[in-house]
Amino acid sequence: MRTTVTIRDDLSRRAKQLALARSCTLSALVEESLQQALAGQQAGARPKPGRPPTFRGRGLQPGVDLDSSASLIEIMEGR
């Protein structure tokens, strides 16, 4: 069956390089990848994404700057 799929340029380039390295066509690579993805879904190999666990508290505390690793270390070390 012939179909049209839109793929990002960078992903397409990487896929073509991989197909070339494996000495197969891009179509064969896409088909193999789809088979693996569908088999994993049926076998339940991939858990559904969920919320990450949280511990104590209600989110980001006042005065915490997530963009500054130095300030995070100071807070964690109790300075």
Q: What are the tens digits of pLDDT across the range 7-26?
A: 999 999 999 999 999 999 99
pTM over 0.85: no
**Helices and strands, number each (H, E), in the chain:** 3, 0
* Residue 20: predicted pLDDT: 94
Domain assignment present for residue 61? The answer is no
* Residue 54: predicted pLDDT: 64
Domain assignment present for residue 34? The answer is yes
Contacts of 28 (CB under 8 A, 6+ apart): 19
Domain assignment present for residue 22? The answer is yes
Domain assignment present for residue 49? The answer is no
Domain assignment present for residue 70? The answer is no
Domain assignment present for residue 74? The answer is no
Domain assignment present for residue 62? The answer is no
Cα 70 to Cα 65, 67, 77, 79: the distances in Å are: 9, 9, 11, 11
Domain assignment present for residue 68? The answer is no
* Residue 21: predicted pLDDT: 93
* Residue 41: predicted pLDDT: 67
Q: Which of 24, 28, 30 is nearest to 12 (CA)?
A: 30
User: In this predicted model, what pLDDT tens digit does every residue of 21-63 receive, in sequence order?
Assistant: 999 999 999 999 999 888 876 665 556 677 766 666 667 777 7
Q: For the chain, what is the domain count?
A: 1
Which residue range forms the structural domain that includes residue 16? 9-43
